Structure 1
Amino acid sequence: MAERLNGKIAAITGAASGIGLATTKALLAEGATVVMVDRDTAALETLIAELGDKAIAQVTDLLDADSCDAMIPEILDKVPHIDILYLNAGTYIGGDLDETNSAGIDRMLNLNVNAVMKNTLGVIPHMKERGVGDIWVTCSVAGHSAIAWEPVYSGSKWAITCFVQTMRRQLREHGIRVGQVSPGPVVSALLADWPEENLRKAKESGSLIDPEEVADAVVYALTRGRNVTIRDMIVLPTNFDI
């Protein structure tokens, strides 16, 4: 395989598992150096030892305001620049609104929305100065469809769809591409909060995809010529009924 991202440096949040880990491996295979951002120190240490010298650990707790604000400066202390910032970390709340609580809502919005906005804010001066960059975000099909069993999650992802598309317009004149990948249900720990009946039906019907399928979509977007921006990629299991 040609190393289409040889020499590029990427930073990925939520990189120790799921879509983040699958994309880390995919970008490494394309020749990139990847800064793996996660709050799980032990998992990062294990993965860095397995993945080799081009995988670099960055311990950040995106739910801690100070740690979140320090993420980009700390990454730039470890690598000379950031070509790709993939904001993938997120969490999930399913069920009716009155089945959750205000603390759970705050946590979801802080991780799924606020941290994405803050990390984007943090990297903009660096990418503007260089005149080039890619900012990519994990959204969801829930950011395109009002899914009745997950109003809080859907609300957070609709916010991200709006944010990504407004930032794409703001930053394109600076050589910075902004886009999102919007998967359907992915086999990951995030589905632990799914209603058991919905999860069972999805598994039985083949309505789940693997994280590697999402990683492939991200690689495709990042390896287009600079005259092309992939604004959004909706990646669904064929049998997913939305």
Structure 2
Amino acid sequence: MAGELAGKVAAVTGAASGIGLASAEAMLAAGACVVMVDRDEAALKLLRDKHGDAMILLVIDLLDPKSCATLLPAVLEKAGQLDILHANAGTYIGGDLVDADTAAIDRMLNLNVNVVMKNVHDVLPHMIARGTGDIIVTSSLAAHFPTPWEPVYASSKWAINCFVQTVRRQVFKHGIRVGSISPGPVASALLADWPPEKLKEARDAGSLLETSEVADVVMFMLTRPRGVTIRDVVMLPTNFDL
């Protein structure tokens, strides 16, 4: 895919690890200038050492409203334009609802839903003025199936899928494509609370996706002809069964 995104500027949230990092690296390989948005400054600096000046670092705490609001102005200051937003940052809560910490519920809903809405809200005027743009949101298989072991997380992703589908219908007339990627279990930091034996069993059984596989689908979405929008992609490990 070398050169397919040449001249494009992309911003990826939650870019220091996991799906965000894999997506950013795939865009870099395709020739894009990528603004890496994350609160982990140390991790971002290590990535800059690896990838050089094509990768622009942007340290933002998306859960802080004032910091979150600086995303687009900072991208424009550093890169001059924004063609692609991958709203990827998110967190996870699993288990029984009665065992969940309510502060953690607030934090997860804020990051998985409110922050995504605010980021998209803030970049849309710029994309509308330019008459083009791509917005991809990292959703989840949990947005398509009422997974009983993660009611809070699943609810956040159901909400964001509705957001993607409704906003897409508002902005396609401006040349802006909006879509979501909904992977099943991915070998990333979001599975940090899985017991080691469960993680090993899942890997051995081939029931986990790799972040690079998700990034491949993100690139597929971004490189379709402008008259084609991939609105929703659900990705399953072949050996996965709900």
Q: Do both share a fold (TM > 0.5)?
A: yes
Deviations 1:93-123 (A, max 9, x none): 0001011021010010011000000000100
Counterpart of 1:37 in structure 2 is: 37
| TM-fit CA distance, 1:198 | 5.0
Q: Which amino acid aligns with 1:73?
A: P
Counterpart of 1:132 in structure 2 is: 132
**Residues 195 and 108 of structure 1: is their aligned pair in 2 closer, same or farther, counting only changes over 3 Å?**
farther
Counterpart of 1:52 in 2: which secondary structure? helix
Q: If the length of structure 1 is used for normalisation, what is the TM-score?
A: 0.97
Counterpart of 2:71 in structure 1 is: 71
| TM-fit CA distance, 1:197 | 6.6
Instruction: Report if aligned partners of 1:95, 1:195 keep a CA contact under 8 Å in 2.
Output: no
Alignment of 1:10-25 (within 5 A): 10-25=10-25
Gaps of 5+ in 1: none
Counterpart of 2:69 in 1: which secondary structure? helix
Moved over 4 A (4+): 195-198
Q: How many corresponding residue pairs? A: 242
Deviations 1:43-94 (A, max 9, x none): 1111112112110000011111111111111111111100000000110000
Aligned equivalents of 1:223, 1:100: Cα separation in 2: 40
Aligned equivalents of 2:131, 2:77: Cα separation in 1: 20
Structure 1 residue 187 corresponds to structure 2 residue 160: no
Instruction: Report if aligned partners of 1:182, 1:232 keep a CA contact under 8 Å in 2.
Output: yes
Q: Which amino acid aligns with 1:158?
A: W
Q: Alignment RMSD, CA only?
A: 1.2
Instruction: Report if aligned partners of 1:37, 1:60 keep a CA contact under 8 Å in 2.
Output: yes
Counterpart of 2:214 in structure 1 is: 214
Gaps of 5+ in 2: none
Aligned equivalents of 1:195, 1:153: Cα separation in 2: 18
Instruction: Report if aligned partners of 1:94, 1:195 keep a CA contact under 8 Å in 2.
Output: no
Q: Which amino acid aligns with 2:41?
A: T
Q: If the length of structure 2 is used for normalisation, what is the TM-score?
A: 0.97
Counterpart of 1:182 in 2: which secondary structure? strand
